[in-house]
Chain A
């Protein structure tokens, strides 16, 4: 029972508010931009095992930073649900007859769009810093992968927000989850360089496959295979959407 109008209106609200909150955009882009500039430029000439010689570190880093941007902006999508909860707006959403699945899909599509916009801004910025873009079909495939990545983390945020009540709790928990996911994913360096036990953990990090798939399509280098990566991402995002729909159906709002 998916109601298009409901999904659309929730999506539109998110977009309207995104473009009204310019400072939020700048804030969310600041961190990955600094990473690109300092990490990317600073280590430009380093070489390390696992990094093919034909690909410089900057080329290697950009898909990782795009993944990071998606991870953080998407996971914080739950924050706007927490805000709505605290400002009482979530009650207003939940007393309407809109189907719970449509409500969750509306929230997801709104946040996925804003995460995607952030990631594309980072991609353009990296081009200015010297990133060599592939041809258009590869760029379009990378957009699909970006959507899948953001879906997974948006839903983690949404599920958390249906359980937690306040800002502080939420940001503590989300940082506790997001930073390890980021560091384990190989966004900054090849996972193969990590000690075996930690490397093992990285196989449970969805972002590992996300970053790998992005590298596959954007710089033509990946450790697993793009097909495997995309299958894992797709399965996970479908499962996560179902999970948040389930949590939202159950949640008591007040």
Chain B
């Protein structure tokens, strides 16, 4: 039995369609990602799957329970970590956790044990008894994650779990999510607009844009849909000569000379790079440096939606990467 089966799920706010006939399913123990820019409809999908919003059309089954017919059982089997803050800042960390555990009818002894356990997981043991008001952003997020774990949900929804966190906290949260998924076999549905997060964590990714799923595959499956890899060579000698020679090869897709450097889009660089050196050697041309880039999820995203998901830093290197990327996609 699938952990989640979503069928033609649709949500309209007035005339505006925020989620447009989305279908997918998630297997037990899978780490599934919904990747898309702000406003794509990710949160709205989670709100429907967690019974907070009624779908306009379509529906879903979660651990075998229908969203409309059996919302109580659905709630029993899920946990969610919301995108926006959802703690009671007037209570202490421990009181927030106790509240949650009691709402799930977890008995007193078990409750104490689990609270200790989850506090330990997120490293908040010594801050448990101060008011959440006085927590930092990262501590609040960790407390929310701890809270989502207390009742051992079969399916855990994480809405942008690391939004706005520093790199170190983000790493440690990724590790928690991985461990949780491994140790408890929890199925995880995670939304994000960070490419590297989806790439690093997810078994499969659905790319969402304007309320629709536009691609669904494993991270490597998604990347393979691109035209090829990019190799960037710095040439010592006549660039146009080697460009012409490489242009003959059937595994070369495109060649872009660029002053002393040459960007080559090719299939399967692992196999074909020796042949590049051979060609250069035969022509008596030296190659003084070489750079590879495997396509990233970001490239896939640009290819599918025609836009980048967020501003790039304007460094020279990233500008260069962007150029290569655009060529790979053309």
Chain A interface residues (CB < 8 Å from chain B): 3, 5-6, 8-9, 13, 16-17, 20-21, 84, 87-89, 91-99, 252-254
Instruction: Tell whether, in the assembled complex, residue B88 and residue A89 are in contact, meaning their CB atoms are under 8 Å apart.
Output: yes
List residues of chain A with CB within 8 A of the CB of B76. 97
List residues of chain A with CB within 8 A of the CB of B47. 254
Task: For the complex, give the distance between the alpha carbons of A8 and B108 in Å.
Answer: 13
Task: For the complex, give the distance between the alpha carbons of A253 and B95 in Å.
Answer: 23
List residues of chain B with CB within 8 A of the CB of A97. 72-73, 75-76, 103-105
Instruction: Tell whether, in the assembled complex, residue A6 and residue B103 are in contact, meaning their CB atoms are under 8 Å apart.
Output: yes
Instruction: Tell whether, in the assembled complex, residue A252 and residue B52 are in contact, meaning their CB atoms are under 8 Å apart.
Output: yes
Quick one: which of A5, A16, A88 contacts B91, CB cutoff 8 A? Answer: A16
Task: For the complex, give the distance between the alpha carbons of A13 and B87 in Å.
Answer: 13
Known contacts A3-B105, A5-B102, A8-B102; 13 further A-B pairs (Cβ under 8 A): A16-B95, A21-B90, A87-B85, A88-B84, A89-B87, A89-B88, A95-B50, A95-B52, A95-B78, A96-B103, A97-B73, A253-B53, A254-B52
| Interface-central residue, B90, B91, B104, by most chain A CB under 10 Å | B90
Chain A, Cβ-Cβ closest to B80:
A95
List residues of chain B with CB within 8 A of the CB of A3. 105
List residues of chain A with CB within 8 A of the CB of B99. 9, 13
| Interface-central residue, B53, B88, B103, B104, by most chain A CB under 10 Å | B103
Mind listing 16 A-B residue pairs with CB under 8 Å?
Answer: A6-B102, A9-B103, A13-B91, A17-B88, A20-B90, A87-B86, A89-B87, A91-B86, A92-B147, A94-B52, A95-B50, A95-B80, A96-B75, A96-B104, A97-B73, A98-B103
Minimum CB–CB distance for B244 against chain A, Å:
60
| Interface-central residue, B52, B72, B73, by most chain A CB under 10 Å | B52
Task: For the complex, give the distance between the alpha carbons of A3 and B72 in Å.
Answer: 13
A87-B50 contact in complex given A9-B103, A97-B75, C-beta closer than 8 Å: no
A89-B103 contact in complex given A16-B91, A95-B51, C-beta closer than 8 Å: no
B100 within 8 A of A: yes
B54 within 8 A of A: yes
Chain B interface residues (CB < 8 Å from chain A): 47, 50-54, 72-73, 75-76, 78, 80, 82, 84-91, 95, 98-100, 102-105, 147
Task: For the complex, give the distance between the alpha carbons of A173 and B288 in Å.
Answer: 76
Chain A, Cβ-Cβ closest to B107:
A5
Instruction: Tell whether, in the assembled complex, residue B105 and residue A5 are in contact, meaning their CB atoms are under 8 Å apart.
Output: yes
Instruction: Tell whether, in the assembled complex, residue B52 and residue A91 are in contact, meaning their CB atoms are under 8 Å apart.
Output: yes
The list of the 10 closest CB pairs from A to B, nearest first, reads A88-B86, A96-B103, A9-B102, A97-B75, A97-B76, A92-B86, A253-B52, A98-B103, A89-B88, A88-B84
Task: For the complex, give the distance between the alpha carbons of A45 and B164 in Å.
Answer: 66
List residues of chain A with CB within 8 A of the CB of B72. 97, 99
Chain A, Cβ-Cβ closest to B131:
A20
Instruction: Tell whether, in the assembled complex, residue A88 and residue B103 are in contact, meaning their CB atoms are under 8 Å apart.
Output: no
Minimum CB–CB distance for A41 against chain B, Å:
37
Chain A, Cβ-Cβ closest to B73:
A97
Instruction: Tell whether, in the assembled complex, residue B85 and residue A88 are in contact, meaning their CB atoms are under 8 Å apart.
Output: yes
List residues of chain B with CB within 8 A of the CB of A9. 98-99, 102-103
Task: For the complex, give the distance between the alpha carbons of A170 and B73 in Å.
Answer: 33
List residues of chain B with CB within 8 A of the CB of A87. 85-89
Task: For the complex, give the distance between the alpha carbons of A6 and B98 in Å.
Answer: 11
Chain A, Cβ-Cβ closest to B71:
A97
Minimum CB–CB distance for B261 against chain A, Å:
51
Task: For the complex, give the distance between the alpha carbons of A13 and B95 in Å.
Answer: 9
List residues of chain A with CB within 8 A of the CB of B86. 87-89, 91-92
Minimum CB–CB distance for B163 against chain A, Å:
14
Task: For the complex, give the distance between the alpha carbons of A13 and B100 in Å.
Answer: 11
| Interface-central residue, A20, A92, A94, A253, by most chain B CB under 10 Å | A92
Minimum CB–CB distance for A80 against chain B, Å:
10
Task: For the complex, give the distance between the alpha carbons of A3 and B103 in Å.
Answer: 9
Task: For the complex, give the distance between the alpha carbons of A81 and B75 in Å.
Answer: 21
Minimum CB–CB distance for A199 against chain B, Å:
44
Minimum CB–CB distance for A114 against chain B, Å:
14
List residues of chain B with CB within 8 A of the CB of A89. 86-88
Instruction: Tell whether, in the assembled complex, residue B53 and residue A252 are in contact, meaning their CB atoms are under 8 Å apart.
Output: yes
Quick one: which of B54, B78, B90, B100 contacts A92, CB cutoff 8 A? Answer: B100
Minimum CB–CB distance for A103 against chain B, Å:
9
Chain B, Cβ-Cβ closest to A253:
B52
| Interface-central residue, A17, A84, A89, A252, by most chain B CB under 10 Å | A89
Task: For the complex, give the distance between the alpha carbons of A241 and B73 in Å.
Answer: 25
Task: For the complex, give the distance between the alpha carbons of A88 and B86 in Å.
Answer: 4
List residues of chain A with CB within 8 A of the CB of B90. 17, 20-21
Task: For the complex, give the distance between the alpha carbons of A126 and B288 in Å.
Answer: 94
List residues of chain A with CB within 8 A of the CB of B82. 88, 91-92
Minimum CB–CB distance for A84 against chain B, Å:
8
| Interface-central residue, A5, A99, A253, by most chain B CB under 10 Å | A5
Task: For the complex, give the distance between the alpha carbons of A94 and B50 in Å.
Answer: 9
